[in-house]
Amino acid sequence: MRDPKIDEIFKGAKDDDRTFLYEHEAKALFALYDMPVTKIHVAPTEDDAVEAANRIGYPIVLKIVSPQILHKSDAGGVIVGIKDDQGIRDGFKKIVKNAKAYNADAEITGILVQEMAPNGTEIIVGSTTDPTFGPTLMFGLGGIFVEILKDVSFRVAPITELDAAEMIEEIKAVKILDGARGMPACHKPTLAEILYKTSKMLMENPEIKELDMNPILAYPDSARIVDARIIM
């Protein structure tokens, strides 16, 4: 029997007639599977956003939360690198204004206040549901590696911990994860753990039809899921 908190997450989306989870809902789901996510808070007001930013710690990223705006950047709904309370207040107003200009009918649920993770190596983990095989997992480096070079590895879920480790070693750019050309090495065991736990989550939650963790920022001793999308 799965955690009742998981049922609550999916019920919230279904009650709103949404076919997707908000980013904060997706991250709440990942956290229930003990995956590393950024600290976040959905703020309904400026004052609440300022309070959350001080609790989380600067610098901060602000993002729009709206059922009508899936692609937040296209709507001017993301501001990064905010360093103080006044920046939060200005950013809050700006995002709301941009969202209304992008879609006058957009319902604004709130503004996502998120810790700004340090720079790291961009990783992508994704999943789609194949009509024959069921959930499939993808792993690769983010940015041009996945977009242009299509340097990714695949497995059909469920996967073992060994499968997860092999997926990482199979990409052509694996040397980057090992710290090629003076770049910091990435902590592969953490990345393998994210893959393994994602597989477990997919098998236990058939509501998930499509999933993207993009990017995951990888570091020498850890990793952090910075952005996420789940389609139901």
Written as one string, the DSSP assignment of 33-89 is TT--B--EEEESSHHHHHHHHHHH-SSEEEEEE-TT-SSTGGGT-EEEEE-SHHHHH
Residues 74 and 137 in one domain: no
Q: What is the pLDDT of residue 15?
A: 96
Residues 130 and 168 in one domain: yes
Q: What is the pLDDT of residue 183?
A: 85
* Sequence-ordered alpha helix ranges (H) in the chain: 4-15, 23-32, 46-56, 85-102, 144-147, 161-170, 174-177, 188-204
Q: What is the pTM of this model?
A: 0.94
Residue pair 157/137 in contact by the 8 Å Cβ criterion? yes
Handedness of CA 33, 219, 117, 154 (dihedral sign): negative
The amino acid occupying position 147 is E
Residue 91 neighbours by CB under 8 Å, 6+ apart: 62, 79, 82
Asked if the model's pLDDT at residue 94 lies above 80, the reply is: yes
- In this structure, the dihedral spanned by the alpha carbons of residues 230, 111, 15 and 75, taken in order and rounded to 10 degrees, is -60
Residue 171 domain boundaries: 121-231
Q: Residue 162 is part of a domain; what is its CATH number?
A: 3.30.470.20
Asked if the model's pLDDT at residue 145 lies above 90, the reply is: no
Tell me the C-alpha distance between 232 and 213, whole Å.
Answer: 15
Residue 145 or residue 200, greater confidence? 200
Residues 134 and 155 in one domain: yes
Asked if the model's pLDDT at residue 181 lies above 90, the reply is: no
Supply the mean pLDDT for the chain.
96
Residue 36 neighbours by CB under 8 Å, 6+ apart: 190, 194, 222, 223, 224, 225
User: pLDDT tens digits, residue range 149-170?
Assistant: 889 999 999 999 999 999 999 9
Q: Residue 93 is part of a domain; what is its CATH number?
A: 3.30.1490.20
Asked if the model's pLDDT at residue 143 lies above 80, the reply is: no
Residues 125 and 225 in one domain: yes
**Would you say how long the chain is, in residues?**
232
Residues 103 and 78 in one domain: yes
Number of domains in the chain: 2
Q: Of the residues 116, 147, 163, which one is the last residue of a structural domain? A: 116
Tokens 């908000």 sit on residue:
22
Residue 145 lies in a domain: yes
User: pLDDT tens digits, residue range 53-86?
Assistant: 999 999 999 999 999 998 899 999 999 999 999 9
